[in-house]
Amino acid sequence: MPSRIELELVVKGRPVDKLVIGGQEIAPGTTCQIELPVVRLYTDTDISMPIHVIRSRKDGPTMFVSAAVHGDELNGIEIIRRLIRMKSFKLSRGTLILVPMVNVYGVLSQSRYMPDRRDLNRCFPGSSKGSLAGIVAHKLMTEIVKHCQYGIDLHTGAIHRSNLPQIRANLKDAETLELAEAFGVPVLLNANLRDGSLRQSALEQGTKILLYEAGQALRYDELSIRAGVRGIQRVLAKLGMTRSKPQKSKYTPYVANTSSWVRASHSGLSTSRRNLGDHVHKGDVLAQIGSPLGETFGEVVASKTGIIIGKQNIPLVQEGDAMFHIAYFSEEEGDIADNIQSMSETLLSSETTQING
């Protein structure tokens, strides 16, 4: 006679795959937290990657959500924290694996990079016998990503740069496009893969992945956090992993097939004239650059019509610095700008994603 556990591993007449992370088996219908050992510091201190697993009794997709691949990108940590603390959140099918801090070293030092000065998001799939960054990348791939059919990787802009909430993905894949649209932010960017990135390695092993970019490094941004929490919930609903029915968004997602940075024309002090989400036309002045003594050196001008999806925040610029990231659409950009404004008003006036404490 089969054991109780063996009976629980049969759903809808077929076996449910075993899920083992860090040597710990997670049974259907359970929620658990795991400290996945990575490597020790030279101080003889153990460093582990925190993981929260929610597994439904019913079979379904397995999805991971990761944050802080870059250790100074904190919005994603708070997005995952809010999901975990949300009393109304319940998984009805499948498994959700939440990894709030991939680069624990970087979070400790408030740095984008690993202690070996490598960018972790250029070290995937990694190696168990490689550099420190390679070992961490290998751990994530072999312990987490290998189990998953889907993933959402949470990022922010780099230090002194802000990104408008946006999804970057392989939007030429029909299912990935559907999930990106379900996430519910106005701007979707059909982004090329970068060698050594988590997204590239995940796709190579068959995991479809969305990359969420929003906010800036070392800062919480409430709009970005709320959009991220709601977006993950909407993707889970789209996959049938929650009982919630995917709600029609109040604003239409638009796909940008190209984007580019407008760079500083001079070195000096910049005064920005445009904000994230603004619709700009070719020839519009985006910023002025001058000297500490009041002289104006020149202007930063939009080379094409589009939407500002990223910008530098620090007013100190060197000639050639990337200052404004502009996405280009085939649709009417004015409609997209209106949708961005609608998103801000909807999310910042709503308490549905705010969790205190």
- The domain locations on the chain are 4-254, 258-329
pLDDT value for 337: 86
How far apart, in whole angstroms, are the C-alpha atoms of residue 6 and residue 131?
40
Q: Which of 79, 131, 130, 72 is nearest to 100 (CA)?
A: 79
pLDDT value at residue 5: 35
Alpha-helical regions (H) of 210-321: 222-238
Instruction: Give me the CATH topology for the region 4-254.
Output: Aminopeptidase (3.40.630)
pLDDT at site 351: 55
Domains 4-254 and 258-329 share a fold: no
| Residues of the chain scoring pLDDT < 70 | 1-16, 246-249, 331, 350-357
Length of the chain: 357
pLDDT number for residue 247: 65
What integer pLDDT is reported at residue 3 of this predicted model? Answer: 39
Residue 225 in contact with residue 82, Cβ under 8 Å?
yes
pLDDT of residue 11: 39
Taking the C-alpha atoms of residue 176 and residue 183, their distance in angstroms, rounded to an integer, is 11
Class for domain 258-329, per CATH?
mainly beta
pLDDT of residue 317: 97
pTM: 0.92
